[in-house]
Amino acid sequence: MKFSVRESMAPGKTLREKFDSLVQLGFKGIEITSSSRREHLEEIQKAAQATGICPNILSSQHLGILDARKAERNEAMKAIQEAMQLCGELGGVGVILPPLIAVTMQGRPRIPDLSPLFSTQHLEKQLLIELLKELGEYGEKVKAAVVIEALNRYEQWWPCSLQEATEICEAVQSPAVVMMADFFHMNIEDADLAGSIRHAGKWIKNVHLADSNRWLPGYGHTDFAPGLKALKEVGYDLYYGFECRVTGDPMAELKKSADYIRSKAG
């Protein structure tokens, strides 16, 4: 299994220290978040070349892709494309996109309800599909994907389940528009974790690991084994990224949790 971790969780004060720590842990990737900017490109490249750690996932600095204001959507598209280009240059997988988190959590204006003609959600879905088609074409050129993230209902109105994220990918039909499976959100929204993963199949290109309480796996009550088995069945061979709370010594705790996941994967 190839383990990755969010930049903020990696032990160390500087990027290079974080990369070095992941080598010691036996991890293979790091998800670049706050440093996901072009001014950090050379620093990331040098750290990656020296350690062999892959910057597998990057973040966009603007996620208002479904903001009701066109100018904000345009800025979000530009930011996502810039992050995708950076990801391609670094040899990563893609840029995570939870489509409605900025609108839901930041109080941004939502596209108005035009019922009985079209509901807000219908308009959002259709708009997202069209924007993702554009991002998919761009992603194929720069060799980096946009990775749709389904979040639980308390963080994003939709997509919340893997089923909803799968429907988006199937509507777009681009190899550069894929999705991820996050065990924390799945534990809330997907009654059958293994079944949801099998249904999503080839579209899953990133995995986040967190227990039911959003602590490291092993500190909650999520049964990881069925989901990990299903990922193996669908041929998933990319990164398993820790995105959760760490208490205690991060080096010891991350190693302990990685061993725990390996034991559940069989």
User: Which among 4, 24, 3, 21 is positioned nearest to 12, based on CA atoms?
Assistant: 21
Amino acid 112 reads P
Q: What are the two backbone dihedrals, phi and then psi, of residue 218, each rounded to the nearest 5 degrees? A: 110, -10
Is 72 a catalytic site residue?
no
Is 17 a catalytic site residue?
no
Q: What are the two backbone dihedrals, phi and then psi, of residue 56, each rounded to the nearest 5 degrees? A: -75, -30
**DSSP state for residue 231 in the 8-state scheme:** H
CB atoms within 10 A of CB 27: 25
Catalytic site residue from 31, 149, 189, 253: 149
Task: Say whether 31 sits in a helix, a strand or coil.
Answer: strand
CA distance 265 to 37: 35
CA distance 233 to 228: 9
Q: Are 221 and 188 in contact (CB under 8 A)?
A: no
CA distance 165 to 117: 24
CA distance 17 to 51: 10
Catalytic residue numbers read 149, 243
